[in-house]
Amino acid sequence: MSKNIDCNDCINLNITEQEQRELKDNKKWHECMEYNSQVIHLSNTKDHNPKLYPCIECKADSYRHYHKR
């Protein structure tokens, strides 16, 4: 399941990649509101893949709080 998870689709994400782009707000971090943890891309280049990967707390909890929007 973990390979298919994109936190952009989770209700616990504070701001999706699309929302961030629309707001032009690159200073606001993607955050899991369930665990208060940063959610990251696996790249820090300007033209990165929009997929967001689960925080380590979510992984450790076997994605129990991952719920699709």
pLDDT of residue 27: 75
Which residues 6+ apart lie within 8 Å of 36 measured at CB? none
Rounded Cα–Cα distance for residues 54 and 34 (Å):
11
Rounded Cα–Cα distance for residues 21 and 23 (Å):
5
pLDDT in tens, 1-48: 556 899 999 999 999 999 998 988 777 889 999 999 999 888 766 677
Q: How many CB atoms lie within 10 A of CB 61?
A: 14
- Whether this model's pTM surpasses 0.85: no
| Per-domain residue ranges of the chain | 2-60
